[in-house]
Chain A
Amino acid sequence: MKLLLYSLLLSAVASLATFASAQKTVTAVHNGDVGKHTNNWAILVDTSRYWFNYRHMANTLAMYRTIKRLGIPDSNIILMLADDVACNPRNPLPGKVYANAGRHLDLYGEGIEVDYRGYEVTVESFLRLLTGRHPDHTPRSKRLLSDSSSNVFIYMTGHGGVEFLKFQDNEEISAFDVADAIEQMSEKKRFNKLLFMTDTCQAATMYSKIYSPNVISTACSQIGENSYSHHNDMEIGCAVIDAYTHHVLNYLETINKTSKQTLQDLFDDYDPVKMLSNPGISTELSDVPPAEILVTDFFGGVASVEMTVPSLVIEFADDIKWPEAKKRAPRHAELDRTPYRRARPSTPQSLRPTNLDTSIMKGGNTSPLAIVFPILISIGVLTLTARTIMSVS
């Protein structure tokens, strides 16, 4: 009977110890991954309806095509189109949308998934999408299922003014709404980094109220400036794309999935003369400068792989020659520590992993006695306590 009790106690303590070490490992992995992202999400919103706003739909669809080309799957793109120009009776080219008068590329193509269309594109549905507050029956395709390892790209285009953007023809979203929704996203850990891009008149005012960390914003025009269309197609009968989006897309056409171009390169490519307005850039909310963030971190689906760190590393004696095993341990340590240092240079010491966590991440410089001793002591104490209780009863 006593033997059984002892074995039970021993197993309980052992499982506790294992759980504790697992917890530390998880913490270590989490801390070590700060700055990385493992998945990409994109929300592309055209807020304008009616045929004469063809260019806003073309802006959005051109961006949709580009990010799909760079690797973000359709399941991770929420496409919101307030109207349908492709199958509009006015479209002389049914089922097709072009963003250039030369009609080199059909943006509607064959495989397209519009998640919110027509009357579904409202301020409410957009804010619900950002904050994740949906009715239970909302299908998966209409939800932003991002997490703390997601890089989220939000692109909005439409007609706007100082600190607002018009949705459809009857309501507006304010810069404060956007800022608060992004703050909720931040609190709910719905993104790792967020890029907010707007192409509308007075666009820089749309991001002026954002106050959440790890958000980079850019827009086509400053306060007091309009956003201008780029060129018309005479057969379609209206402008087909806006100048800012046209130039951003031209830049993105030059890169592919393996590109090492950074956001700073994108911002440096901005030309106010070509864009007909002075683009706005806001990076002060991000700890990481844009020169250290790849363009494909937002516009592509190139995510880093999450490395799980072994919780227990066996150290081999010197006389056994297993060079691969010896090399592996420091490689893990390097992989985990390097991005951490790069990503968060200003992180205070208190937020950094504890020595114990780091030692686990590094692959175990801690003496095994440091783990075994407390376990043995706790077993002894528990055994004594149990015996005392048994003797009393």
Chain B
Amino acid sequence: MLLWSSLLPILTLVKATSTYDESFHESLTLHPLPDGRLSVLFEFTTLFSSTSSSRRSSTPVAQSHHSLTPPSLLLPLEHNRVSELTISFVSGRWDQRRTGEAGPLHHESGGGGGEVRGWLRNNQNGKPDFEAWTRVTHALGGLFCAGLGPSEDGDSVNTFGHIYPAHVSQTNTSHFFLPQPTLHLCTENLTPFLTLLPSKGLSGLSLLLARPDLVFAWGFQSEGIEVIMPSAESPQGRWRGWWEGIVDLVPPKGGDRSFSLNSLFKKNVPRAFPMADSSVLKVILPEQEGFRMNNVPSKTETKWIDGRLRNVANWDLSHGDMAGKDISFWWDGEGDFRHPRSFTPPTVTLFRTVIEPFASDGTFSILIHNTGDETRQAVYSEAWPWWLQAWTHEISIAQDKVPSPLLITSMFYEPSTPPTASITTLHLGITIPARSTLQLKIPFTKLTLKYTEHRPDAERGREIPSGMLTFLDLEDSDDCQVEVSVRKTSSDTLNRSRCSRREHLYTSRRLVDLPTPDFSMPYNVIIMTSTVMAVFFGLMHGALTRRWGYVDIEVELDETDGAVASNATKHTSSKVE
């Protein structure tokens, strides 16, 4: 009895410290696109919180008690005092004109290639902790089998904090942004992603994703994670992983667009992951009529997606009765799919090209189309490597080919510091009038790189990060929901471009060709220089350190030969050292 009474407080303590508020949610979103393709998005969200015991200690995460959260992901973040962090990989190009959508379904997907961005607590001096940033990016690069960390100190920038504001506002933190446009996605990046999930690609929706042979055949891929660490002020943490791709629905030899889970993933609805609090299949229903399905959804909701009011069908997969079934979708009476000749574009589109491309110079031409009825406020941002320098005084903007310099409302420019590795950042505040096309021109010069600064495949050129447009005037969801209720009573079609959660539009990354020398030239120069030095220095050295003269050599002839004994002196010229 005494033993039990003494053990009771200990057991209570153990129980108290072992119950954590963790929950796991997974969803699969399918979105048919007008060009006969389908956007597929997997999202895995884990909510976790710091415990009362760990809050007393200095660590915000419940160490050694990870049940749903991956310690290999969270511990490096915790050790390096990370507040929020996002990693994004994008392979392929998102075509806004063909898809009719401004970007991938997941809004945190970055531009082309890879990028890491996040908020870190400042160091003891109250300054940005670049060392911690380097450590954490390299650690996560090792985790994701990708060189995510900065190769040199100046590769990261701090001027994108207002572009990517923190989800949870905290004081004494700094923002870091590190674009890695050369990165792409492959199986070695998917493997660790699946390992981080509690379902490990073995059960639940992650089982559908664990098919690299299928998913890497898709045309566009985006993978990423977003982590919000718990802190003393906000004990709720969240980490979310996403994987997105574009599947061609039309068979290569023609046919209709009908599809099902089995035709996409070669599997039926998988068995529910037991630890998942929710497991949902969502289908964003196409706006044109005739879309059918063989299974009645659990519920249908209405949502603002990219400024358009869309119906979204939901199936709850967490109930066991869905496991093993296939859900099919088709368009009524559709024969062979005929590719549309024109697409309804998204309200705002963004393209970047290089015009006047010379060996040493060029001009970025950024086209911003606004087909909406509302004037938009936005910031256009660029981050260039040090060897690309813009002529900021020659930046020009034209509305429908008429110069309109007043549309640039503000400019922030931080030049790089060549020849050390550094990043030029440019942020332009822009007004985008309704139903207009803006052309922004930014002339630039490419500096000459040293032999050792070129990539191993120098002739290919080098990628520069995507340009991005950040909207400053998005409406919050409450206001938009009012519009939804209004629409229910009126027959007007609503197209409110501000009713969207997409804050950023990205251009594709850009391959810039660099003046590339003939790499045999350095060897030629070295050999030539060495030869000249050897010949010249050898001659001069000889002339300065040696002298020419005559040396007397006494030749004694053997007397026994009967020859005339004589002392002959032979004059000969020889070198005297």
* A interface residues, Cβ below 8 angstroms from B: 49-50, 82, 84, 86-87, 94-96, 106, 108-115, 117-120, 122, 136-142, 167-171
Contact = CB atoms under 8 A, between A and B. Distances in A.
Nearest to B456: A168
Given A86-B186, A119-B455, A139 B143 contact: yes
A273 to B, nearest CB: 36
Nearest to B183: A118
Interface in B150-206: 182, 184-188, 191-192
B145 A113 contact: yes
B191 A140 contact: no
Contact of B216 (A94, A117, A168): A94
B464 to A, nearest CB: 16
Given A87-B91, A138-B138, A142-B142, A95 B186 contact: yes
Interface centre among A82, A94, A136 (most CB of B within 10 A): A94
Nearest to B188: A114
Interface in B316-349: none
A290 to B, nearest CB: 34
B213 interface: yes
Contacts of B458: 170
A117 B531 CA distance: 40
A112 B191 contact: yes
A49 B456 contact: yes
A171 B146 CA distance: 22
Nearest to B211: A110
B258 interface: no
Contact of A137 (B135, B456, B457): B135
A84 B184 contact: yes
Interface string B210-231: 1011011100000000000000
Contact of A113 (B192, B216, B457): B192
23 contacts: A49-B457, A50-B457, A82-B456, A84-B184, A87-B186, A94-B213, A95-B186, A95-B187, A113-B145, A114-B186, A115-B145, A117-B145, A117-B188, A118-B147, A119-B147, A139-B139, A139-B141, A140-B142, A141-B142, A168-B457, A169-B456, A170-B519, A171-B456
Contacts of B185: 87
B210 A110 contact: yes
B454 interface: yes
B128 interface: no
A106 B216 CA distance: 14
B149 interface: yes
Contacts of A87: 91, 184-187, 216
B134 interface: yes
Nearest to B459: A169
Nearest to B91: A87
A96 B212 CA distance: 9
B147 A117 contact: yes
B187 A108 contact: yes
A113 B139 contact: no
A111 B145 contact: no
Given A111-B191, A112-B188, A86 B216 contact: yes
B182 A118 contact: yes
Nearest to B457: A169
Given A49-B456, A87-B187, A139-B139, 17 more contacts: A82-B456, A84-B186, A87-B216, A94-B217, A95-B215, A108-B187, A108-B212, A109-B212, A115-B142, A115-B145, A122-B456, A137-B135, A138-B142, A169-B456, A170-B458, A170-B519, A171-B456
